Amino acid sequence: MGSLKIQNIRKSFGHVDVLKGIDLEVKDGEFVIFVGPSGCGKSTLLRIIAGLEEATSGEILIDGKKVNNTPPAKRGIAMVFQTYALYPHLSVRDNMGLGLKQAGKPAEEIKERTKIASAMLSLDDYLERRPAELSGGQRQRVAIGRAIVREPQLFLFDEPLSNLDAALRVNTRLEIARLHRQLKATMIYVTHDQVEAMTLADKIVVMNKGRIEQVGSPMELYNSPQTLFVAGFIGSPQMNLIDGAKLGDPAAKAVGIRPEHIQVSNTSGSWKGSVIHVEHLGADTIIYLQTDFSPLTVRLFGEHQYEVDQVLYATPDAGRTYRFDDKDQIIKA
Ligand SMILES: Nc1ncnc2c1ncn2[C@@H]1O[C@H](COP(=O)(O)OP(=O)(O)O)[C@@H](O)[C@H]1O
Ligand SMILES: [Mg+2]
State whether the beta carbon of 87 lies less than 6 angstroms from ligand 1: no
CA atoms within 13 A on the CB side of 235: 26
Q: How far is CA 211 from CA 4, 22, 253, in A?
A: 18, 6, 22
Q: What's the CA-to-centroid distance between 50 and ligand 1, angstroms?
A: 16
Atom 7 in ligand 1: residue holding the nearest Cα: 13
**Cα 255 off chain centre by:** 25
38 falls within a domain: yes
| Confidence tier at 333 by pLDDT (50, 70, 90) | confident
**Where a domain ends, among 198, 230, 262?**
230
**Where a domain ends, among 212, 230, 248?**
230
Atom 18 in ligand 1: residue holding the nearest Cα: 43
**Mean pLDDT for the stretch of residues 253-269:** 97
Write down the pLDDT at residue 247.
94
Write down the pLDDT at residue 167.
83
Write down the pLDDT at residue 137.
87
Write down the pLDDT at residue 295.
97
| Tens-digit pLDDT profile for residues 144-177 | 999 999 989 899 999 999 888 888 888 889 989 9
| Confidence tier at 28 by pLDDT (50, 70, 90) | very high
332 falls within a domain: no
290 falls within a domain: yes
Write down the pLDDT at residue 164.
84
State whether the beta carbon of 39 lies less than 6 angstroms from ligand 1: yes
What is the rounded distance in angstroms from the CA atom of residue 151 to the CA atom of residue 113?
Answer: 9
Both 225 and 291 in one domain: the answer is no
**Mean pLDDT for the stretch of residues 43-60:** 97
Neighbours of 277 (CB within 10 A): 12
Is pLDDT larger for residue 209 or for residue 163? 209
Both 98 and 218 in one domain: the answer is yes
CATH number at residue 265: 2.40.50.140
251 falls within a domain: yes
Is pLDDT larger for residue 328 or for residue 166? 328
Write down the pLDDT at residue 288.
98
Both 283 and 223 in one domain: the answer is no
Protein residues within 5 Å, CB atom, of ion ligand 2: 43
Beta strands (DSSP E) in 69-111 are 77-80
**Mean pLDDT for the stretch of residues 106-113:** 95
Both 71 and 170 in one domain: the answer is yes
Phi and psi at residue 32, to the nearest 5°: -115, 135
Q: What's the CA-to-centroid distance between 34 and ligand 1, angstroms?
A: 15
State the closest ligand 1 atom to the C-alpha of 38, by its place in the atom list counted from 1: 23
Both 51 and 24 in one domain: the answer is yes
* Helical segments of 149-237, H only: 166-183, 194-200, 218-223, 228-233
Whether the per-residue pLDDT at 1 is higher than 80: the answer is no
Whole-structure pTM value: 0.94
Whether residue 205 contacts residue 26, with contact meaning beta carbons closer than 8 Å, is answered with no
Mean pLDDT of the chain: 95
